[in-house]
Amino acid sequence: MKISHIDHIGIAVKSLEKASEFYTRFLGCKPAGKETVPDQKATVSFFLFKDTTVELLEATELEGPIAKFIASKGEGIHHIAFRVENIEDTIAELKAKGVRLIDEQPRTGARGIKIAFVHPKETSGVLMELCQHFTKE
Ligand code: ZN
């Protein structure tokens, strides 16, 4: 298993507009993109930093994971994503070690990357995302 770095930090927000303003107005960052990810029932905005990205997630549906997260825990860090070289191999290796996964097959996340979530029971309550990009950034 090869983990290169923390790829991004996903933050669940009630309002993308309001949360983005902190990064643009106060930190002077430029948004690197915005897209709706139907699979996650969320709209996502990105802010790129040197080796990592902040991913702001706003729910598009009340039944989605972001809406449920905010309803139970409030706004805040939703997940931490680790970039891996090969997600299929990583999933297979973790399964072989008996690690509980939410996704036993990779799915497509924002920016077209392959992602899979590890069960938070395995990671001290932190939702961990594994992700594989197709280009080196
Ligand atoms: Zn993510």
User: According to the model, what pLDDT value does residue 134 have?
Assistant: 81
For residue 80, give the nearest of 114, 55, 98 by alpha carbon: 55
pTM for the whole thing? 0.92
Low-confidence ranges of the chain (pLDDT < 70): 135-137
Taking the centre of ligand 1 as the mean of its atom positions, its distance from the CA of residue 18, in whole angstroms, is 20
Taking the centre of ligand 1 as the mean of its atom positions, its distance from the CA of residue 80, in whole angstroms, is 7
Question: Cα 95 vs. chain centroid, distance in angstroms?
Answer: 21
Question: Cα 5 vs. chain centroid, distance in angstroms?
Answer: 14
User: According to the model, what pLDDT value does residue 39 have?
Assistant: 85
First and final C-alpha spacing in the chain: 19
Taking the centre of ligand 1 as the mean of its atom positions, its distance from the CA of residue 98, in whole angstroms, is 23
- What residue has token string 């790829």? 7
**What does the pLDDT look like over 19-37, one tens digit per residue?**
999 999 999 999 999 999 9
Taking the centre of ligand 1 as the mean of its atom positions, its distance from the CA of residue 25, in whole angstroms, is 23
For residue 33, give the nearest of 15, 14, 51, 53 by alpha carbon: 53
